[in-house]
Amino acid sequence: MWGLVEFLADPANTKVLITSTSLKAGRKRIWGSVVKWWRVLGSGFPGKLVDSLGAIRFVDEQGHAYDTAGLELIACEQKKEKEAIDKLIGFKNKRVIFIADELPDLSEAILTAALSNLSVNPYFQLIGLGNPNSYFDAFGVFCEPKDGYKNLSRGAHRWETRYGICIQFDAHDSPNVVAGKNIYDWGMPTVEWVNDQKNRLGENSRAYWRMVRGFWSPTGAEDAVFSENDILLSGPVPELF
């Protein structure tokens, strides 16, 4: 919805690039939402949906379609990394918004290409989305606080990074969970869901921290000799560029 609002605010001068691990995965996730809301809008808007290509192309008053403006889904899985980077670098428009969905599963090279190349456009915004997995994957590096992770408390929900602001969401803070009853029934976490995840995953497991708490696990990976916390104490996370 954010991508659509940005595009409709200035259709001819706005390109919204949306990533996912693959085109197929994107249609089940973020691109599926884009298509749903675009179809809800109905006719009369300056864009043409080409779902087979994962794109909404800008259409001017004469009916001409352009790939330089609109919304576009880009597959960024490991085996298509070079192809994805080639689509990103050198892209020019007055307003470029890059929405990186499932960022923990994407290559850091994709993020580096966006930050180093797309940021030269007059207006550039990058939004990274994901469930925290590792301090050292693309998402972890992107979210690192200015003062480093070792100074970040587990109760923090908002902090400044080297690239902007990180906002953290915890299912324990869902209005349904806080109230102890289902106030909203449109997909927001419930007490029943949280308790089910506790019983199934274990409250202190890496999976529970990632998918429910929305935070990096204090214990790190279970199959590693050293925990990520041990590594963090030895020095800073490398910068993207």
Kind and range of the H or E run holding 18: strand 14-20
Q: What are 80-89's pLDDT values in tens digits?
A: 777 778 878 8
Counting as low any pLDDT under 50, the low residues of the chain are 241
* The predicted structure's pLDDT at residue 185: 82
d(CA 209, CA 239): 25
Kind and range of the H or E run holding 177: helix 175-179
* The predicted structure's pLDDT at residue 71: 96
d(CA 43, CA 25): 27
Structure tokens at 5: 């609002």
d(CA 119, CA 121): 5
**DSSP for residue 19:** E
* The predicted structure's pLDDT at residue 135: 93
* The predicted structure's pLDDT at residue 108: 83
**Beta carbons of 219 and 228 less than 8 angstroms apart:** no
**Beta carbons of 85 and 113 less than 8 angstroms apart:** yes
* The predicted structure's pLDDT at residue 180: 94
